[in-house]
Amino acid sequence: MSLDTTEKQALINSHQNHPTDTGSVEVQVAMLSERISKLSGHLQANSHDFSSRQGLLKMIGKRKRLLNYVRDKSEARYSDLIKKLGIRG
């Protein structure tokens, strides 16, 4: 359910703003989105894993707060991030 090093590096490379960027909001949201999708798949197979469900809800809340922060700072960055990640149907 966690991301291995190669997956993290691929996410960072595809969402970073500059070559040394590893912690911008875009990178954080991308990592959270990947972890959420992995955990969602786990919970579909293991429906009684309630502690993982609680962790999933916390990750969704954190991603929502980060997205609200990006939207407050720049609507263009927000819309680009949403399109790039394919969230918020």
pLDDT digits (tens, 9 = 90+) for 10-19: 999 999 999 9
Under 8 Å between Cβ of 70 and 1: no
pLDDT digits (tens, 9 = 90+) for 46-82: 999 999 999 999 999 999 999 999 999 999 999 999 9
Taking CA atoms, 7 is separated from 2, 14, 29, 34, 46, in Å, by 10, 11, 14, 9, 24
pTM: 0.92
- The count of structural domains within the chain is 1
Q: What is the pLDDT of residue 88?
A: 80
Range of the domain at 76: 5-85
CATH code, domain with 68:
1.10.287.10
Q: Could you tell me the pLDDT band of residue 2, with boundaries at 50, 70 and 90?
A: confident
